[in-house]
Amino acid sequence: QNKFTTTNTLGQLVQIDTKGKLSTKKLNLTDKHRIVTTSKTLVSLTENTLKIKSRNVDLDYGNYTAPKIFYLNDKIYVTTTDLQSKKVYLFDSQAKSIPNFPVFGISAADLQNIDKDNGLELITKSDSKTIVVYKLY
């Protein structure tokens, strides 16, 4: 959308266009929120509420990694990990949990197609020296 997008400590979305015009929009985020955006998707995490576009997901209270957005096979996926309970969450663009998730993991996750089939793989750590790969069917 030809804008630079960020947030401030007041929980507002701040956008600046290429001509320097500034706009703000209240998002009702706490000062310790995290966001990630693409040209069409805004994801925020504040306390235990994950918001994907306009849909909210209430997660258990925990210590979450910043959400990550992946666009693969013409679908949007969002991940976040609760470092406290060691659970990796995976959602679609409608904020619906992907079947069989959450899974065990202790780090932020990556989602890719790392082999020759059409299925995706989620990669995370299972301890400080070991990675684990989950196959999505």
Handedness of CA 57, 52, 116, 118 (dihedral sign): positive
Quick one: average pLDDT of 88-115?
96
Strand order of the sheet with strand 12-17? Answer: 3-7, 12-17, 22-26
- What does the mean pLDDT of the chain come to? 94
**Is 0.85 topped by the overall pTM?**
yes
Quick one: average pLDDT of 121-130?
97
Confidence of residue 40 (pLDDT cuts 50, 70, 90): confident
pLDDT (tens digit per residue) in 5-27: 899 989 899 999 999 999 999 98
Provide the 3-class DSSP secondary structure of residue 122.
Answer: strand
